[in-house]
Amino acid sequence: MPTEPTEARLSLDTRAARNLATTTKTRPQMQAITSRWLLRMLPWVDVGGGTYRVNQRLTHRIRPGRVTVERAGADPRIVPETLTGIPALRGFGDAAVLAEIAGAFTVREVRAGDVVAEAGMPVAQTSVIAHGRLERVAEGPYGEPQFLGILAAGDPLGDEALSGDDPVWPCTYRATTACTLLFAPRDELRRITERSAALREHLAGYRAGLRKPVNRRGEAEVGISAGHTGEPVIDSSFVDYEQHPREYELSVAQTIMRVHTRVADLYNDPMNQIEEQLRLTIHEVRERQEWEMLHNPEFGLLHNTDYDQRTYTWSGPPTPDDLDDLISMRRKTRFLLAHPKAIAAFFRECNKRGLVPGSTEVNGHEVPAWRGIPIFPCGKLPISERRTTSILAMRIGEENQGVVGLYQTGIPEEYEPGLNVRFMGIDSKAVMSYLVSAYYSAAVLVPDAVGILEDVDIATPRS
C-alpha cells in the first residue's frame, strides 16, 4: 500500500497512531472445542476406590455377539477367537478347536432376494455374514409376512447347528442386498465336536443353561404364585446374583504441559500465560476423554452396547421409523447422540414425508428433538468409508439403571472434578512441567440402557 507523503496529510497517520494505542486482544481460540454433550448429559458417580462394580441378577440366556471377518487375499475368513460371538461358543477358550471350527467355514455368494434359510426347515449349517444384509421374515397370524429385523456383517445365524438335537429355522432369512456368507455344515461341526472333549463339555453346559427357567430377559426365574384361592402351597424361591460381576476401573488421559520460566515471568499482562496454556490443554484432554468414552474397547459405548440392543436401518438413511424402533427398545430414553451429518440425513427424510421435527430446551440450549427426546450432535461418532455412521440412544442414571459416567473427586491437586494438575519441576533449560491427568470411565448398568442404530447412510443423494 503506497504511503501518502507527509506534507500532503493534514493529521497524524493511523499506522503511526497505533504505536501509542493499546491493542484489544482475545484469549487464544481453539477450533477443536466441541459441545461435548455426552460429558455434559451423563450423571457422574464418584468412585472412591477407583473401581466400580456393577452387580446384576444371574443370567442364564447367553446373548449373541459379533464375529470378525477379515480378508485373506480374495476370500474372507473368520478370526477364530471371535467365534465366541456365537452364543453356543461364548466363553469357550480352546484356541486350537476354535481355529478348526473357523477352518470349516466356506464362502457362499447370495444375490439380492434369495432365501438363505426358510422357516421350519432343518438347520443344516451355521452361518456368518461377511458382507451385505439379510432380513428376518415370519408368517403373521393371518398369513401376512412380518418383518422381524435386519442382520448385517458380523452377525451369526444358525448356532442351533452346534447346540440343538434336531433344530429348525424359527424364521425365514432373505437377502436384501448381494451378500457374502461364510457357512459351516452341521455334519462337519459334529465331527469337530466328537474329536474335542472340551467342546462337548462346553456345549453340554450351554444346553443345560437353555433348559433352566428364565424370565423374558434371560434372568434366573423367581417362582411366584398368583391368582390362587384357598390355601395352596406357595412357591418359594430366591433372587440369585452373578458370581463374577463386571468391574470398571477408572481410565486416564494424561499430557505434560511445558512453559518456559521466562514466558511465565515476563509475559503475563493482560493474560496469565500458564492459565491460558492450561485452559487449552484441559479442553484437549476433555475432548479425548469423550472420544475414549465412545471408542475405548474396554468401556466405550460403541463397543460395549449389547448385541440385542443393536438395530439397523430398514432402507439406509435414518428415517422416523428407524428412530421409533431405536427408542422403543428401552424405557425412558433420555437422549439421542448422532453425528451432525446423521442429523442432517434424518431431517432430509423428514422433509420427504412432510414432517417437521420438534425441538426442546436443554440447559438453556435449543436442540432438535424427536418424540420429545433431544438429539445431540457429536462429531466423534465415526463415519465409515461407505459413508455410514451410528446413532446412540441412552437411558441415564443409577436410579434408572442407565448409563453413568465414572470419576473420582478429591484427588491430590485437583483442578476440576476428576482432573488434577501436578507441578513436575523445572529442568536445566528453565522449562517448567505440569502433569495434567483426567480420570474417568463409563458404565452400562443393564444391557438395554444404551442402544445403537447402525449402518446409517448419510450420503447426500443427487437432486
pLDDT at position 2 is 59
Q: Which residue has the cell 412432510?
A: 354
* Range among 3-7, 167-171, 212-216 with highest mean pLDDT value: 167-171
pLDDT at position 74 is 67
Mean pLDDT of the chain: 90
pLDDT at position 63 is 72
CA dihedral of residues 422, 424, 425, 430 (deg, nearest 10): -100
Q: Which residue has the cell 436410579?
A: 399
Helices (H), 44-168: 95-103, 160-163
What is the β-pairing status of strands 310-312 and 450-457? Answer: parallel
77-106 residue pLDDT tens:
899 999 988 888 888 888 899 999 998 999
What are the residues facing 420 on neighbouring strands?
A: 414, 437
pLDDT at position 452 is 95
pLDDT at position 229 is 84
C-beta separation of 50 from 416 below 8 A: no
Q: Which helix (H) or strand (E) holds 349?
A: helix 340-353
pLDDT at position 7 is 66
pLDDT at position 64 is 74
Q: How far is CA 289 from the centre of its chain?
A: 15
What are the residues facing 454 on neighbouring strands?
A: 312
pLDDT at position 257 is 97
314-366 residue pLDDT tens:
888 999 999 999 999 999 999 999 999 999 999 999 999 999 999 999 988 89
pLDDT at position 265 is 94
181-203 residue pLDDT tens:
999 999 898 899 889 889 988 88
- Compute the average pLDDT of residues 127-156: 87
Phi, psi of 130 (to 5 degrees): -90, -35
pLDDT at position 236 is 79
User: If we measure between CA atoms, which residue out of 29, 25, 32, 5 comes closest to residue 287?
Assistant: 32
Rounded to whole angstroms, the Cα distance separating 65 from 89 reads: 10
Rounded to whole angstroms, the Cα distance separating 346 from 190 reads: 47
User: If we measure between CA atoms, which residue out of 317, 312, 102 comes closest to residue 192?
Assistant: 102
What are the residues facing 136 on neighbouring strands?
A: 149, 173
3-state percent breakdown (helix, strand, coil) of the chain, nearest 5? 25, 30, 40
User: If we measure between CA atoms, which residue out of 82, 94, 87, 85 comes closest to residue 60?
Assistant: 87
